[in-house]
Amino acid sequence: GQQLNQSPQSMFIQEGEDVSMNCTSSSIFNTWLWYKQDPGEGPVLLIALYKAGELTSNGRLTAQFGITRKDSFLNISASIPSDVGIYFCAGHLVGGGGANSKLTFGKGITLSVRP
């Protein structure tokens, strides 16, 4: 099946540092979505990207839809303790409809922030 690759599985940063995560695929995607999951909760949408090259910010978060439509990155600036959680990328494949209606997820990156 289609795969979204996120690595590493875990990241450890110091409070106040910036961190960048990326997500890659061999397939072309129509949309890229970034979600955050807190322990015991469902994933919550952070940023949605709909056009190749699009750069979108949400507070301290910035995400970009890669020009090739096969990748995306998420930046978190000036990290704080509540940034701890699992960050997932997700996307819809080109040719949406039918099986491509489904949203494909990466395996997620667990972010730890040291005070």
Partner 1 sequence: NAGVTQTPKFRILKIGQSMTLQCAQDMNHNYMYWYRQDPGMGLKLIYYSVGAGITDKGEVPNGYNVSRSTTEDFPLRLELAAPSQTSVYFCASSSGVATEAFFGQGTRLTVV
3-class secondary structure for the chain? CCCCEECCCEEEEECCCCEEEEEECCCCEEEEEEEEECCCCCCEEEEEECCCCCEEEECCEEEEECCCCCEEEEEECCCCHHHCEEEEEEEEECCCCHHHHCCEECCCEEEEEEC
Taking residues 44 to 83 in sequence order and writing x for each that binds partner 1 by CB under 8 A, - otherwise, the string is xx--x-x---------------------------------
Under rule CB under 8 A, residue 105 binds partner 1: yes
Under rule CB under 8 A, residue 97 binds partner 1: yes
Q: Which of 42, 67, 82, 115 binds partner 1 (CB under 8 A)?
A: 42
Of 6 and 79, which has the nearer Cβ to partner 1?
Answer: 6
